[in-house]
Amino acid sequence: NAGVTQTPKFRILKIGQSMTLQCTQDMNHNYMYWYRQDPGMGLKLIYYSVGAGITDKGEVPNGYNVSRSTTEDFPLRLELAAPSQTSVYFCASSLTGDNQPQHFGDGTRLSIL
């Protein structure tokens, strides 16, 4: 099993551009999550999904959108990139949402200039 795979690993965007961060997992997990990690801070939840077709906002959803058309994939979209979205983005998954360990991908380091 590859676990949770994120692409790309690094990306530089110009202000106002859009892009999609890809996340896929091969563990047949029902729950998937997107976090952002800023320097010296913990991880903040952007969006999560409890299954295909179901998504919900986390703590910091503004400026982002998600979709979950399959169990495996949970892409995160930035429509109008802003400097405040410069961060490291981590995707995670868990078998269920109830007291289950979350498994993280390697992250995407995104810079908005």
Partner 1 sequence: GENVEQHPSTLSVQEGDSAVIKCTYSDSASNYFPWYKQELGKRPQLIIDIRSNVGEKKDQRIAVTLNKTAKHFSLHITETQPEDSAVYFCAASMGSGYALNFGKGTSLLVTP
Two structure tokens written together for 31: 């729950």
What whole-number distance in Å separates Cα of residue 112 and Cα of residue 96? 34
What whole-number distance in Å separates Cα of residue 62 and Cα of residue 48? 14
Q: Fill in the per-residue mask, 47 to 86: x = in contact with partner 1 (CB under 8 A), - = not in contact.
A: -x-x-----x-xx---------------------------
Q: How far is the CB of 50 from partner 1 (least distance, A)?
A: 6
Stretch that binds partner 1, among 16-24, 69-77, 79-87, 100-108 (CB under 8 A): 100-108
Two structure tokens written together for 41: 């801070």
What whole-number distance in Å separates Cα of residue 58 and Cα of residue 43? 11
Q: How far is the CB of 91 from partner 1 (least distance, A)?
A: 10
Stretch that binds partner 1, among 19-27, 34-42, 68-76, 78-86 (CB under 8 A): 34-42
